[in-house]
Amino acid sequence: MAITEGRLIMNGLRSAVSKGKRGRMGTVETSASTRKRSKQAVKEEDTTPPVPQSSFHTFSDPADVVQLRSQLLSWYDKEKRELPWRTLALAESDINIRTYAVWVSEIMLQQTQVATVKEYYKRWLKKWPTVQDLAAATIEEVNQMWSGLGYYSRGRRLHEGAQKVVLELKGRMPRTVDDLLKQLPGVGRYTAAAVGSIALGQVTGAVDGNVIRVLCRVRAIGADSTRPTVTEALWNLSNLLVDPERPG
C-alpha cells in the first residue's frame, strides 16, 4: 500500500507539473500574441493618412485675400473715426515723436474706452510731447495726470519705458515690432503690432477680440480661440490680410 500510495503521489505531482508547464506556455503564447497584435495595430496606425486641414479655415485663392483687403479698407475709409493719435501719426514726420505718441495712445486704450482716452491723451501730449519730456517728469506728476483713468500701473509703465528709452536707448524709440515687444515694459503682442503698423508702417496684423470674432466668422473657425494653435492661426490670417501699401 505504501508503494501504491507513493506511486499515486508521484503521478499527481507529474500531472500538476505538466499542467503548470502548459499554463505557463499558454501565458507566454498569449503575451507573444498580444505583442504581435500591438505591433500590427501600430503599423496600421502609422500607415493611416493624416486628416487634411479644411480649406474653409485658410485662404487658398490669393484673389480672395486681395478682395477682402479691398473690402476692409473701403469700409475703414467710410466708417473710420477721427482719432488724435491717428491724425498725429499721419502728419508727424519725426519717427521718434510718432512712435512715442502712438505708444502712449495704445497703453491708454488698454482696458479703457476710446471716448474716455481722447481728452486724457490730448492733455498728456500737451504736457509731455516727446519721450524725453515724459522721462524728465516725476512719478507723482504722472499719477496726477493719470488720475481718473484707472489702472495706474499703465501710467507707471509709460514713465518707466520713457526713462529706459532715454537712459538705455539714447532717446531712440524702438523701430520694429520685435524691439517694441522686448524693450518697452507693458507692451504685449497686440500693442507692439498696433504701434508697429500705425507709427512705423510695418506690415503686421494686430489681433484683438474684435479681429478674432471677424476672422472666426469669415473662415468658419469654431475652435477655442485661446488655444495656442488657434491663436497662431488667427495671427497668420491677420498678417496675410494686411495691405502692404496701407498697413496702419
Active site residues: 106
User: What is the Cα Rg of the chain in Å?
Assistant: 34
Closest to 84 measured CA to CA, from 95, 76, 92? 92
Tell me the C-alpha distance between 196 and 179, whole Å: 10
In contact, 216 and 225? CB cutoff 8 Å: yes
Long-range contacts of 67-70 (CB under 8 A, 24+ apart): 68/218, 68/241, 69/241, 69/242, 69/243
The three cell numbers of residue 79 are 466708417
Tell me the C-alpha distance between 166 and 133, whole Å: 10
Return phi, psi of residue 55, to 5°.
-70, -15
Place of cell 512715442: 100
Tell me the C-alpha distance between 86 and 77, whole Å: 13
